[in-house]
Structure 1
Amino acid sequence: MSDNVHKYRVLIVASHPVQYAAPLFRLMAKHPKLDIQVAYCSLQGVKAGFDAGFNVEVKWDIPLLDGYPWVEVENNSPKPKLNSFFGLINLGLWNLIRKNNFDVVIVYTGYNYFSFWIAAAAAKLNKCKFVFSTDTSGIEPRNKKIWKIWLKSVVLPPIFRFADFVFVSSTLGKQMLQKLSVPEENIILTPFAVDNDWWTFQARQVDVKEVRQQWHIPESATVILFCAKLQPWKRPQDILRAFALANVPNSYLLFAGEGSLKNELELESESLRIKDRVKFLGFVNQSNLPSIYRSASLFILPSDYEPFGVVVNEAMLCGCPVVVSDRVGSRYDLVQHGKSGFIYPCGDVEALAKILQEILPDHNFLQKMGTAATHLMESWSPQKNIEAIVKALDKSIASK
C-alpha cells in the first residue's frame, strides 16, 4: 500500500484500560489506514483499585498501555468510580474532540456514563462520525426487573440510532439491534476477540503435569474449571451441585476467582461431601490464566446474565472445551453443540449433571472437542474485528 494513503483519524474513548482491549488497540495502531488516539476516562486496572465484582483489589499484571498512543482525560466527578453514571465526568473530552480533526469518535464507554454524552455531543457538533460500541446481546437487565426491560425497549432505540454506526460484539447483539429497529446498514459486527496469538502461544508453554502437581490433582484426573467472579448472576453454585450430582470418579472441580459467594460455596462443598475434590484458587491474574485453562479438561460458564463471556474465548484458545448456559451471549458464535462444547438450559442442574456424566469419562472425546474449539477460534480474531471497522469507515467516509 502506498505510503501517502489517507489514514482515518480515530479517537477511541474508553472508560479504563482493559486487558481484552489493549491488544486490539496495538493492532489498530499498526494498521496502514488507521491513525488512532485512545482517551481513557480512568486508569483503574493499571493502577491498583478495589474491584467490587471480585471483592478484592485488582491490578492487572500484563502491559495495558504499551504499543499505542493514549492520554488520560481528567475525571471531574466529585465521586469518581466505575459503574456509576456520574462516576465518570471527563469534561476534557469536549475540547479534545472539538479541537482535533478526527474522522470518527468510537466510544467504548457505555451510555450509562456521563462522559459518553460529552463525547457524543462533541462528535456531533464537530460533524465527525460517532460510533457506539456495545457487547450487549439482549435488553434484559441483570436484576431481571420488568420495568427496566420496558424502559430499555423505549430508550435504547433512539440511543442506538443517535450513532452513525453501532459496533456489536456478537451475532446475537446484531439481532437484538435489528429488533430495536436500528437500520441494518448501521450495525457492524466486530467480533469480541482477545489476543489469539498470545493465548495460543502461552498455552503451548504450559506443563500440565507440573500445574496439576501444584493443585495436588492427579495428571490422569478430569478437571472441571469455573473461571469468573463468584457472584450470584454467574451461578457458580450450579456447577457445584451438578458436579456432586454427576459424581464422576476421579474428577475434580476448580473455582478460579473471588467474590461474595466464596464462603457459601465452601460451606456447600462440605455439606455435599465433596470438599476434598473441590479447590478454590482465589483471584488469578491475567498472566497465570493460560496455565489454568490448559490444565483443565472442561470449562463451564453457567451464568444467567452474560452479554458475551470472553472467558469462553480464552478457554477455547487454550484447547479447553466449554459448556455454557443458554444465557451466555457467545454461545451463538463460538459454541458448536457437541463439537466444540455444549449448551444447556440456564439453571437446569440436572441437565448439566447429565452432560458431565456423559463426557467426563471419555478423555479422548474431551481432547477432540478441545482441538475443535481451538480451530474454531481461528475465524474469530482481533484481525477480523479491525477489518470490520476499516470496512465501515471505507463505506461511510472514503465514499464521500
Structure 2
Amino acid sequence: MQTQLKILHYIPVYAPAWQFGGPVLSVSQLCEELAALGHQVEVFTSNTGLNNQPELPLNQPVIRNGVKVTYFQQEPGIGIHCPGMEQAVTARAREFDIIHITGVWQRTSGAACKAAKNQGIPYVVSPRGALGPYSWQQKTAKKILYYLWQERFNMTNAAGIHYTSKQELQECHWLKLPGKSFIVPNGLNTEFWQPALEAAKAWRKSQNLSEDDFILLNVGRLHHKKGLDLLPQALARLRHLNWRMVFVGGDDDGTKAKLQQQFQSANLSDRVIFLERCEPKKLPAIYSAANLFVLPSRHENFGNVVVESLACGCPILISNKVGLHNEVAERGVGWVRSRVASEWTEAIEELIQFPSKMQKVISASKKCVESTYSTKKTALQMGSYYLETINKQYINESKI
C-alpha cells in the first residue's frame, strides 16, 4: 500500500472543459484515480471554457468524481489570467506534500512554481509537449524571451519533470533540466473505454454509413499541428476503393475549411463527414464503428486518442511524430509511417484490401492497454514518483 499523500494539481483548465483537448481528460482521470487510491487530491484551476455552466460554484471547492476541485474566476487579460488561483496556491502551498503543475507557457504557472520554491515544497511539471520542437517553432522569438524571463525558473527549480512518452523526454534532453526526469504515460479508464458494438451499429446508421463502408476516423481538434492535410493527398489515389473519412472535433485555426477545399479539389467531398467535438461518453461507439484510426500529426507528445482507439478495438495508423510511435512499433499494436502521402496511401490500401491483417493487432492492443495504460497502473506509477521526489528533496535539505 502506498503512503497517503496530500497532492495539489495546478492546471489552467480542467474537466469538463473538454474542448481544450487531451490534458484536460488525462489530468482529471489521473486525479480521480489518485483519490481512489487513498491520496488527498485537490485541484486548483480556472473556469475557462465553462461559462456555459452557470451552476458551477466559483472560488470554493466542489467534489467532482471524488476530487476536491476549486474553479477560480478567470479575469480579462492576455492568456488565462486567474489571480484567485495564484493567490490560493501562494497561501496554501505548505498544506501539500507535493504540487503537480501542468501548463508551460501559461501565466498562471509562475505563481505556483514560485510559491513551492519559496516554501520548500517539491513540485513536478508536466510540459505535455509544450517544450517540443513544434512548439518552439511557433512564435519562436517570444518563447525564447519568455523562457529566459519566466519559464527557465519554473523548469529548473522543479524537483521532477514528468514526460508522457520516450519521444517527449528525448525532445527535451537538450534543455538539461536538473529535476528528475520520469515517464508515466497518460492513463485511461479501461472500464469506460471498451468496444461498443451495438452502439457502433446505431452510429453507422445515424450517419448513413453501411456495414461495407471502410471508415477512416480522426478524433480531436482540427489544427495544423495534427497534420491532417496529408490525408486528402493520400486518399486521392484510393477513390477506386470503398472508404469514408470521418473527422470528429472542433476547428481551432481554419483547418476545417482548408481540408474541405482539398477534398473538393480531389472530387472526394462526398466521401468525407465532419462532425463537431462531442463529450467523451459518446466516443466509444464512434471508435468501435471505425475500421482504422488515422493520426498523421506533425507533433504529438503522447496521443490520448491513440490509446482510446486501441481500447475500443479500432486499429491505428499514426505518424512517427506522434509521441507513442515508439511504443506502438515495439508492441506491434498498430502501424507507423513517416509523413509522406504515398506511404499512407500504400498502408491504407493494403488494410482495406486485406482487413484480416488487423485482427492480430486488435488482439494485441487490448492486452497492451490493460497492462500499460489503465488509470490504476499509471496512478500507481505517478504516486511512486511523487514519493520518491518528496523523499529526495527532504534528504537534500537535511544535508544543507
User: Using the alignment, how far apart are the partners of 2:184 and 2:301 within structure 1?
Assistant: 14
**2:322 corresponds to:** 328
**1:20 corresponds to:** 26
CA deviation after TM superposition for structure 1 residue 157, in Å: 6.3
User: Using the alignment, how far apart are the partners of 1:122 and 1:212 within structure 2?
Assistant: 52
Q: Deviations over 1:141-198 (max 9, x none)?
A: 3473695599399857664321011111112222234443235x71121212222321
CA deviation after TM superposition for structure 1 residue 117, in Å: 1.0
CA deviation after TM superposition for structure 1 residue 248, in Å: 4.9
Paired residue type of 2:342: E
Contact 1:298 1:366 in 2 (8 A): no
Paired residue type of 2:66: G
User: Using the alignment, how far apart are the partners of 1:88 and 1:354 within structure 2?
Assistant: 49
**1:381 corresponds to:** 374
Paired residue type of 1:9: K
**1:170 corresponds to:** 165
- In the alignment, structure 2 segments of 5+ residues that lack a partner are 15-23, 54-61, 395-400
Q: Deviations over 1:300-325 (max 9, x none)?
A: 11111322221111111111111111
User: Using the alignment, how far apart are the partners of 1:178 and 1:236 within structure 2?
Assistant: 28
CA deviation after TM superposition for structure 1 residue 28, in Å: 1.0
**1:225 corresponds to:** 217
Q: Does 1:39 align with 2:44?
A: yes
**2:56 corresponds to:** none
Contact 1:190 1:384 in 2 (8 A): no
Residues 280 and 95 of structure 1, relative CA distance in 2, 3 Å threshold: closer
Contact 1:13 1:108 in 2 (8 A): yes
User: Using the alignment, how far apart are the partners of 1:389 and 1:120 within structure 2?
Assistant: 19
Counterparts of 1:192-341 in structure 2 under 5 Å? 192-200=186-194, 203-204=195-196, 206-259=198-251, 260-333=254-327, 335-336=328-329, 339-341=332-334
User: Using the alignment, how far apart are the partners of 1:149 and 1:387 within structure 2?
Assistant: 38
Contact 1:235 1:304 in 2 (8 A): yes
Counterparts of 1:389-400 in structure 2 under 5 Å? 389-398=382-391, 400=394
Paired residue type of 1:31: L
Paired residue type of 1:126: Q
**2:185 corresponds to:** 191
User: SS where residue 303 of structure 2 aligns?
Assistant: coil
**1:79 corresponds to:** 77
User: Using the alignment, how far apart are the partners of 1:119 and 1:153 within structure 2?
Assistant: 17
User: SS where residue 360 of structure 1 aligns?
Assistant: helix
Q: Deviations over 1:115-146 (max 9, x none)?
A: 21111111112111121122228631347369
Paired residue type of 2:163: V
User: Using the alignment, how far apart are the partners of 2:170 and 2:145 within structure 1?
Assistant: 16
Paired residue type of 1:357: E
User: SS where residue 329 of structure 2 aligns?
Assistant: coil
Contact 1:46 1:64 in 2 (8 A): no
User: Using the alignment, how far apart are the partners of 1:141 and 1:157 within structure 2?
Assistant: 18
How many residues matched?
370
Paired residue type of 2:41: I
Deviates further, 64-73 or 306-315: 64-73
Among all aligned residue pairs of Structure 1 and Structure 2, give the percentage whose two residues are the same amino acid: 21
User: Using the alignment, how far apart are the partners of 2:4 and 2:332 within structure 1?
Assistant: 42
User: Using the alignment, how far apart are the partners of 1:70 and 1:338 within structure 2?
Assistant: 37
Q: Deviations over 1:44-85 (max 9, x none)?
A: 344439xxxxxxxxxxxxx9933211112344x4327xxx2x
Q: Displaced runs of 4+ in structure 1, greater than 6 A? A: none
User: SS where residue 70 of structure 1 aligns?
Assistant: strand
Contact 2:9 2:42 in 1 (8 A): yes
**2:177 corresponds to:** 182
TM-score (norm. length: structure 1): 0.82
User: Using the alignment, how far apart are the partners of 1:130 and 1:282 within structure 2?
Assistant: 37
Paired residue type of 1:242: A
Residues 255 and 175 of structure 1, relative CA distance in 2, 3 Å threshold: same
User: SS where residue 40 of structure 2 aligns?
Assistant: strand
Contact 1:339 1:372 in 2 (8 A): yes
Query: Cα RMSD between the aligned structures?
Result: 3.0
Q: Deviations over 1:371-399 (max 9, x none)?
A: 32222212123223222222223324357
Paired residue type of 1:11: L
Contact 1:10 1:106 in 2 (8 A): yes
User: Using the alignment, how far apart are the partners of 1:266 and 1:191 within structure 2?
Assistant: 34
Contact 1:74 1:92 in 2 (8 A): no
Q: Does 1:7 align with 2:12?
A: no
Looking at secondary structure, tell me which structure has more helix per residue.
2
Q: Does 1:360 align with 2:352?
A: yes
**1:59 corresponds to:** none
**2:397 corresponds to:** none
Q: Does 1:69 align with 2:75?
A: no
User: SS where residue 69 of structure 1 aligns?
Assistant: strand
Contact 1:140 1:149 in 2 (8 A): no
